[in-house]
Amino acid sequence: MASFNRFGYEWSKYSRIIPLYEEQFKAWIKPLTPADFKGLRVLDGGCGTGRNSLWPAKYGAAEVVAFDVDPRSVAVARRNLAAYANAKVCEHSLYDIPFSDEFDLAFSIGVIHHVDDPRKAVGNLVKAVKPDGRVLIWVYGREGYTFIKILVNAARKICCHVPIGLLNVLTMPFSFLWWSYIKVFPQRHPYHALLKPAPFWHIHSILFDQLLPEIANYWTKEQSVALFDGLPVEIEHVTWVNRGSWTVVARKRAQS
C-alpha cells in the first residue's frame, strides 16, 4: 500500500478539524500571518483533511484550491471545506499540478518530506505561483533530532510494513502514554505546550501519522533550503518551528 493510501486511511478516521489546528497552522506559516492571506489566490498541496486550507478561507483569501493525490483525503477535505464558497478541493498529484503562474501563494505542509522526488514537487509548486508569488513549505527538521525522533523514525521503518488498520490499533497504547504525559506534567517544549489541550484522538493521530509512511526525511536547514536550488526564486524566510522543523518561504522572481 503506497504511503498516500495509508494517509488516506488516517484522514478518513481522524477527519475532524478542531480549533487547536489554527494555532498549529499559525506556527507552521510563520512569519506569515492571517492578514497575509487576505485577497490572495492560495494553493494547498497535499491537503489531507483540508485542515490547513480552512484558515486561509476564513482569513479572506479570494480563492483556496486544495488538492491531494488520495481520493479518500479529497472526499474528507471536500466535506470539511463545504461551508466555504471560496474553497475548492481537487484530486491531483504534486508531480502533475495542472496550474502555471496562477496563485499568489502555494503552500505544502507536512508533505514534501514524504514524497520520493521532493525537488520535483517543490518545482511544481513554484511553477503554479505567479511571478512575484510565494511558495511556503514546512518540513521535518534534522536539528533537534532527539532520542525520541530517532526512536520513532526507527520504529517507522518497521511499522510502515504493518497493515494500516492493525497499526492504528497497535499504536494506541503508546499514544495513551504520550497523551497522559502531556496532560499530567507541565510542558515547556513549545510543541508539547501546543498539544496540552489536545483530545486523545489528536495525539494518537500524530503518533500514527509518524509511524505509517514509507518515506519520512528529516532535513537540516541547508537541505530544506536546497530543495529550491536551481528554481527561479529568492529565499525570503527560513523559520525554525517548534524547535523541530523548518518553514521555508521563497518568492518567485518577477522575470523567470
Residue 63 or 68: the one with the smaller Cβ distance to ligand SAM is: 68
Burial zone of 9 (CB within 10 Å; 0-12 exposed, 13-18 middle, 19+ buried):
buried
- Percent helix / strand / coil, the chain, rounded to 5: 45, 20, 35
List the one residue from 29, 64, 70, 248 that touches ligand SAM (CB under 6 A).
70
Contacts of 154 (CB under 8 A, 6+ apart): none
Residue 69 or 105: the one with the smaller Cβ distance to ligand SAM is: 69
Q: Is residue 79 close enough to count as binding ligand SAM by CB under 6 A?
A: no
Sheet holding 41-45, edge to edge: 87-91, 63-68, 41-45, 103-109, 129-140, 245-252, 233-241
Number of chain residues interacting with ligand SAM (CB under 6 A):
21
CB-based contact 11:48 (threshold 8 Å) = yes
CB of 143 to ligand SAM, least distance (A): 20
Q: Is residue 99 close enough to count as binding ligand SAM by CB under 6 A?
A: no
Query: How many other CB atoms are there within 10 angstroms of residue 249's CB atom?
Result: 22
List the one residue from 114, 134, 142, 251 that touches ligand SAM (CB under 6 A).
114
Q: Is residue 56 close enough to count as binding ligand SAM by CB under 6 A?
A: no
Interface stretch with ligand SAM, choices 103-111, 147-155, 160-168, 175-183 (CB under 6 A): 103-111
CB-based contact 131:105 (threshold 8 Å) = no
List the one residue from 61, 65, 87, 94 that touches ligand SAM (CB under 6 A).
94
Q: Is residue 69 close enough to count as binding ligand SAM by CB under 6 A?
A: yes
Phi, psi of 17 (to 5 degrees): -100, 125
CB of 1 to ligand SAM, least distance (A): 12
Residue 109 or 182: the one with the smaller Cβ distance to ligand SAM is: 109
Secondary structure class of 127 (helix, strand, coil): helix
Please tell me the distance from the alpha carbon of residue 186 to that of residue 207, in angstroms, as a whole number: 20
Angle, in degrees to the nearest 10, between helices 200-211 and 147-159: 70
Q: How many helices (H) and strands (E) does the chain have?
A: 10, 7
CB of 184 to ligand SAM, least distance (A): 27
Residue 46 or 123: the one with the smaller Cβ distance to ligand SAM is: 46
Closest CB to ligand SAM: residue number: 48
List the one residue from 111, 128, 211, 216 that touches ligand SAM (CB under 6 A).
111
Residue 34 or 110: the one with the smaller Cβ distance to ligand SAM is: 110
Q: Is residue 95 close enough to count as binding ligand SAM by CB under 6 A?
A: yes
Question: Which cell goes with 192?
Answer: 508539547
Q: Which residues bind ligand SAM (CB under 6 A)?
A: 4, 7, 11, 46-48, 51-52, 68-70, 73, 93-95, 109-111, 114-115, 209
